[in-house]
Chain A
């Protein structure tokens, strides 16, 4: 039996990206909501809820980028030059919010600056990621083994919409995370914010999903063609179900259910993307197998990944288990 290494790696990279989106999603979301949380103590509490985990979350982005270079160098080369602007913007924005975690505690006088740096960086990073996603979905011009378009091709009404959608979606993840991890005033504020963000997110998921088939007939065929509609149909139905649970949980003031429902929305949307993309790495231009490095490169790194990724996962799960419970403004977790 021979292993289909490119397919295994496509799955691993997809997993790293999904892990990044849901994990950094909620801590970016807390940053996005930061300007809407008033008062120093409340902001301390919100920031403390993500402080222990944010950089572990963000390392998945390095793993996604580094992994793409290692195993799908052609896709990495094409995507990074096609989406040059949004990716550079995202990286700079992540610098702004990343340093804020450390610098905020090194100054009293300048703290407001780092609060703004945290919020601004989070919003911009989320928006740039959404634009990147939208630009990828709408397709990239490829000539030979390189990007063949201009440096503004990524900009379209669709990619701006996905940018806004991701900011609001991350905001929803952040709000429901805060509902779960805080209490009192911050939690009340988070409920109010989530009640705005939840319907907005569901609406935007609907608009993006309905727009996508019109971008390219291959997407339309994938989603509406017979008989595969029977296979893919459950995904939108599950989205509706998760949306219902989310709204119900918020109305009933449940603490964990809204966060889990929001996470499921992201996972389902990601599965939807996977259905749209497969078997392409760069939609409708480069397939997974065409983008893959030779098998001996994939095998060489797979040995390390097979040992280390489970260890990282176990460690991460353990860390979240240890940090269970509500956070306080002062003294971290209690």
Chain B
């Protein structure tokens, strides 16, 4: 790695820190909503098992949320440290959107996370439910603004360029709701829900394999399998729409995803093969005739543009995009398969008595994370060589920093992230390894009031309940 130039190192570093970060939001966005649903069910049905489940997942949420916060602080500075020219030029457009992300996340998280974690005993079930809903809304707002920023970089709209070469907004509505944003937002939110569903399903499956009578494990497994059965097909449809949008605005990316070098009418769908960028072809390919054109243009003889239409320096790296796209799609169809299998087991009334389904769901536990990462790699590598698509190249965006400095900090990030987030993942897995049990405790009493910190509501309630303690 000592031959790498500063630009490559900066890209590796950004890819590493942003990949490490996306894992946590991908999980907490879905988990926040799941907690809100559990809370609503507890309120509606009054069954204690929903409170047990809420308390069980709340502890896991707290640990992963903490890691999301610290890795997120790093991200808000990485734009300047690694991409200072990009920050200067695109800052006037994307900066305010990121500012809104910080402000809304700040308010909703600081305000309500604590109440949610601290427990419904202190504030009463209604206020507690509102707090949980607000946390879910906060994570949604974060995703909304950040995806708007990313989408604007992919499909810029509503901008002008001023006399010093900065992008400026001419129409904020067009900037925020740029052409790829609605598709990306839906695709990512569904991905977050699926990721969480498969984690919840795996934990449920694990405890069903140990004790198929565990009531809480049954409920979480059943809920997760409903999500898989319903959301996986929705996600495949959303992905298809997103792909069509990409074909319209970033056709070179789609050509790399599909592995098309030549422009075809009636293009095949290439299932597998080894991309050979130097020769401009896919070796050893397995393909289905005409299906590629049908999927992309909804016409068996539609014309699909190949990478050869772009000059070599404007083509994305084919190998990475080709494979990451297949990994994402492959996992998507496996998820669909699990969903269908669970429907069949449910129909036969054997959902809790299907060890092979449980084993498969257990193995699929981390699959959502792999799919999210593969999907982001597809879209981010696929838009190369641009940071702002068609307008500003990645090479033009970089900071004037020596390769040695970026290399050294990259090594530091890798070591620190693996050590600390590795420890955090270990604690999460250990929490998941405990079977959920009746009267699942909240956060232990000897621990301080913490994480998400500012939580006056519960403390006020506690003070009012125990005036003698003052």
Residues from chain A with Cβ under 8 Å of B90 in the complex:
73
Q: Mark B381-411, 1 if CB is under 8 A from A, else 0.
A: 0000000000000000001111011000100
* Residue A331 lies at the interface, judged by CB distance under 8 Å to chain B: yes
* Residue B340 lies at the interface, judged by CB distance under 8 Å to chain A: no
Bound together, the chains give a CA A81 to CA B103 distance in angstroms of 25
Bound together, the chains give a CA A59 to CA B69 distance in angstroms of 9
Cβ B446 vs Cβ A330 within 8 A: yes
Bound together, the chains give a CA A305 to CA B444 distance in angstroms of 37
Residues from chain A with Cβ under 8 Å of B63 in the complex:
102-103, 106
Binds A, one of B30-38, B160-168, B200-208, B350-358: B160-168
Of A63, A65, A301, which contacts B96 at CB under 8 A?
A301
Q: Which of B410-466 contact A (CB under 8 A)?
A: 412-413, 416-417, 420, 423-424, 427, 430-431, 444-456, 459-460, 463
Cβ B76 vs Cβ A294 within 8 A: no
Binds A, one of B80-88, B288-296, B323-331: B80-88
Interface size class of B (residues with CB under 8 A): 35 or more
Residues from chain B with Cβ under 8 Å of A331 in the complex:
445-446
Cβ B454 vs Cβ A315 within 8 A: yes
* Residue A52 lies at the interface, judged by CB distance under 8 Å to chain B: yes
Cβ B62 vs Cβ A102 within 8 A: yes
Residues from chain A with Cβ under 8 Å of B420 in the complex:
95-96, 99, 117
Cβ A98 vs Cβ B70 within 8 A: yes
A84, A101, A301 — most chain B CB neighbours (10 Å): A84
Cβ B95 vs Cβ A55 within 8 A: no
Bound together, the chains give a CA A319 to CA B405 distance in angstroms of 41
Bound together, the chains give a CA A88 to CA B9 distance in angstroms of 15
* Residue A69 lies at the interface, judged by CB distance under 8 Å to chain B: yes
Q: Which of A75-122 contact B (CB under 8 A)?
A: 76-81, 84-85, 87-88, 91-92, 94-96, 98-99, 101-103, 105-107, 110, 117
Bound together, the chains give a CA A11 to CA B147 distance in angstroms of 29
* Residue B106 lies at the interface, judged by CB distance under 8 Å to chain A: yes
* Residue B107 lies at the interface, judged by CB distance under 8 Å to chain A: yes
* Residue B98 lies at the interface, judged by CB distance under 8 Å to chain A: yes
Bound together, the chains give a CA A54 to CA B89 distance in angstroms of 34
* Residue B125 lies at the interface, judged by CB distance under 8 Å to chain A: no
Q: Mark B351-378, 1 if CB is under 8 A from A, else 0.
A: 0000000000000000000000000000
Q: Which of A293-318 contact B (CB under 8 A)?
A: 293-294, 296-297, 300-301, 304-305, 308-309, 311-312, 315-316, 318
Cβ A80 vs Cβ B84 within 8 A: yes
Bound together, the chains give a CA A45 to CA B246 distance in angstroms of 55
Known: A52-B453, A69-B87, A297-B169. Contact between A151 and B405, CB under 8 A?
yes
Cβ A151 vs Cβ B74 within 8 A: no
B77, B79, B423 — most chain A CB neighbours (10 Å): B77
Cβ A51 vs Cβ B449 within 8 A: yes
Cβ A91 vs Cβ B73 within 8 A: yes
* Residue B66 lies at the interface, judged by CB distance under 8 Å to chain A: yes
* Residue B1 lies at the interface, judged by CB distance under 8 Å to chain A: no
Cβ B449 vs Cβ A106 within 8 A: no
Cβ A315 vs Cβ B111 within 8 A: yes
* Residue B110 lies at the interface, judged by CB distance under 8 Å to chain A: yes
Cβ B452 vs Cβ A55 within 8 A: yes
Known: A61-B73, A103-B427, A301-B100. Contact between A296 and B448, CB under 8 A?
no
Cβ B91 vs Cβ A69 within 8 A: yes
In the complex formed, the residue of A with least CB distance to B87 is A77
Q: From residue B88, how far is it (CB to closest CB) to chain A in Å? A: 4
Q: Which residues from chain A sit less than 8 Å from chain B, CB to CB?
A: 44, 47-48, 51-56, 58-59, 61-63, 65-71, 73-74, 76-81, 84-85, 87-88, 91-92, 94-96, 98-99, 101-103, 105-107, 110, 117, 145-148, 150-151, 293-294, 296-297, 300-301, 304-305, 308-309, 311-312, 315-316, 318-319, 321-323, 325, 330-334
